[in-house]
A and B are shown apart, each in its own frame.
Chain A
Amino acid sequence: MADTSRPDGYLVTEKLVKKFDETVAVDEVSLSIGKGEIFALLGSSGCGKSTLLRMLAGFETPTSGRILLGGVDVARLPPYERPVNMMFQSYALFPHLNIWENVAFGLKREGLPKAEIQQRVDEMLGLVQLTPYAKRKPHQLSGGQQQRVALARSLAKRPQLLLLDEPLGALDKKLREQTQFELVNIIEKVGVTCVMVTHDQEEAMTMANRIAIMSKGRVLQVGTPQEVYEYPANRFVADFIGNVNLLDGQLSVDEPDRCAVATALGEVQVGHSLSGAVGMAVAVAVRPEKISIGKQRPEGVRANLFTGRVKEIAYFGSYNTYIVVTPQGKTVKITEPNGSRHELLDITWEDDVFFWWDNTDAVVLRD
């Protein structure tokens, strides 16, 4: 699917294809990324995101298609001729050079005068707060510090496009949270257009302005984190991001502002139209946190009210997860936050419960 949401795209790929012998790694990807945007390519391994990134960097030549950066097709330019810089997952710092020289490397290749190089490097080191470490060698720095050097090095040349390869992949969990925000701050401060690749949803959702979800070389959906989460375009995306309950059924009603689906549980009311044919096979996607659960029949709820028996409960500290099995044999996952200690719902295994959700809290998917 082509991303047409940004017709004024600064970085545009046009039907980009990459084949390795008979395997198609990237299958006609067309994206339009705006200037200064932080854009994430999200997917599990083998989905083609890394290949796509490498094509943007210049380490792979596309089989067909164009890559337009500021209007110029760079697809066939070698990496050293592109105004693109990459921050590698393993940082790839030069072990034989100290930090200052690492950051200055790219500037020296440009043949800039010494004074300017000095100024630029100092500026970069200041930006990542590593000025006192300028004379140290990479192995004398911690993982987090090395990453900052890698970032400084990739920004030193003021590239038109910054590429991040699994930026948080090599870090400890604790360090990751802190680094997430730091990274975004620096990138936004500099104002560079950024494409990042990750398999970690949280990373993508936290850091990116928009996300493209990829699978098997194709882009399945492009949107802001909220769009992608609340309005997944298809089953794969709905399932990939976060948790979801998918209820298969047939479209029974389709009106301009609402529709209904006949599922195993019964009729489900959904607060948007599908513009489809009545009777077609669809799925209703509703996220666990959107479902309410209780032992008493709730007042004033008329649609999307069902019953079931609690089979599993998991306590996660900040929220509970209930696995409820309906009389029709369907399994539904429901999460409830533990807002306050006194609010414990007093639900336990084998309890018969009611669960319900608002009709605007679900989405109908065709495929």
Chain B
Amino acid sequence: MRALLEKHFGKFWLALVFAFLYLPLLFMIVFSFNSTRQDARFTGFSLRWYEALLNDTKIIDGFWLSLKVALTTGVLSAVLATFAAFVLVRYRRFLGRTIFSGMVNAPLVMPEVIIGLSLLLLFVGAQNVFGWPQRGMFTIILGHTLLGMAYGMVVIQSRLLEMDRRIEEAAMDLGARPHQVFFLVTLPNIFQAILAAFLLAFTLSFDDVVISEFLSGPGVTTLPQVIFGYARRGINPTIYAAATLLIATVTVVIVSYAVWVARSTRKREREMAAAARQELKALGA
């Protein structure tokens, strides 16, 4: 009785919250095909907003810039996150460990306004003293990387903790020097996590508004900045078209990734079970 109630209420609540989560997405998808600018009435099917999207140079330029920034941020973040995760997991005691840990994890929680502001001041100051850097793509990448590194580190850290340390010892025992151990054994085994960190940082960078606004320079406008500009001015279904394309891409990527993971896990489990069965048979015989 109790369990039944819990089950029904549970399903109801899950459905409700999922509806809440997906309502805006569905709204945008539907109305991206609206033939007029109307927000409440679907007046007819049309692809005009997609056309407008493809002709909107500001959006297209912003897209390419964001792509470049996100790719660079992703790589940089993944590398730094690997370093940081390695340091925190492997080195128990070193000078300033708590401070280090605090600094790495802080961007996860801090308001972006503070991060953006303080970095801006840093760059302006540097510009005064060294004459460099100019605010633009480079500074945006640095700002995004700070954030990406924090998020990436969470993923890599958890994988590092999970990994069996003995294989590193085994590698050393077999003659691999420490740097060889890292590149030949550790890295391949945490690779999936590093990839995940890259994707996470990429997404965050591609989506970021605040830090970009603080750190961008003249003529440098990322896609979110463009959209933000449009958004403040009013409703523009071209944005809905962009959103629909994005949702479609993300859905395809994530679902295929999930399916691939599920399939390879099942395959792996089947193989392990088959090996165990074989062994039992051999024992019996």
Contact = CB atoms under 8 A, between A and B. Distances in A.
B275 A80 contact: no
Contacts of A78: 172
A145 B279 contact: yes
Contact of A139 (B177, B268, B279): B268
Given A59-B169, A78-B172, A92 B164 contact: yes
Interface string B234-276: 0000000000000000000000000000000000100110111
Contacts of A144: 279, 282
Q: Which of the four size classes fits the interface of chain B? A: 20 to 34
B175 interface: yes
Contact of B176 (A57, A109, A143, A172): A109
B23 to A, nearest CB: 43
Interface stretch (A83-91, A321-329, A334-342, A354-362): A83-91
B166 interface: yes
A216 B184 CA distance: 38
A65 interface: no
A96 B172 contact: no
Nearest to A111: B175
Contacts of A153: 170, 174
Contacts of A57: 173
A303 interface: no
A142 B173 contact: no
Contacts of B173: 57-58, 79-80, 84-86, 154
A140 B272 contact: yes
B87 interface: no
Contact of A93 (B167, B275, B279): B167
A173 to B, nearest CB: 10
A57 B271 CA distance: 33
B175 A145 contact: no
Contact of A109 (B167, B174, B276, B283): B174
A109 B175 contact: yes
Given A105-B171, A140-B271, A145-B275, A92 B166 contact: yes
Contacts of A278: none
Given A106-B174, A109-B176, A142-B276, A96 B169 contact: no
B230 to A, nearest CB: 47
Interface residues of A, number: 34
Interface string A131-145: 000000001111111
Interface string A65-91: 000000000000011100011101010
A189 interface: no
Nearest to A172: B283
Nearest to B174: A106
Contact of A157 (B175, B180, B278, B279): B175
B283 A79 contact: no
Nearest to B168: A92
Nearest to B181: A80
Contacts of A174: 283
B172 to A, nearest CB: 4
A88 B275 contact: no
Contact of A88 (B169, B185, B283): B169
B189 interface: yes
A174 B164 CA distance: 27
B111 interface: no
Interface string B175-207: 111001000110011000000000000000000
Contacts of B171: 94, 105
Contacts of B172: 58-59, 78-80
A358 B171 CA distance: 55
Contacts of A109: 174-176, 180
Contacts of B176: 80, 105, 109
A344 interface: no
A57 to B, nearest CB: 6
A92 B170 contact: yes
A32 to B, nearest CB: 24
B163 to A, nearest CB: 9
A144 B275 CA distance: 10
B166 A90 contact: yes
Which of B172, B177, B188 is packed against the most chain A CB atoms within 10 Å? B172
Which of B167, B276, B278 is packed against the most chain A CB atoms within 10 Å? B167
B275 A94 contact: no
A58 B171 CA distance: 12
Contact of B189 (A79, A88, A95, A175): A95
Interface string A270-296: 000000000000000000000000000
Nearest to A106: B174
A45 B107 CA distance: 44
Nearest to A96: B188
Given A140-B271, A140-B275, A106 B175 contact: yes
Contacts of A178: 283
A92 B169 contact: yes
Interface string B65-91: 000000000000000000000000000
Contacts of A143: 276, 279
A257 interface: no
A116 interface: no
Interface string B2-14: 0000000000000
Interface of A: 57-59, 78-80, 84-86, 88, 90, 92-96, 105-106, 109-110, 139-145, 153-154, 157, 172, 174-175, 178
The 4 tightest CB contacts between A and B, nearest first, are A142-B279, A106-B174, A109-B175, A92-B166
10 contacts: A59-B172, A79-B173, A80-B172, A86-B170, A94-B167, A109-B175, A139-B271, A140-B271, A141-B275, A142-B276
Given A139-B272, A142-B278, 5 more contacts: A79-B169, A93-B167, A105-B174, A139-B275, A144-B279
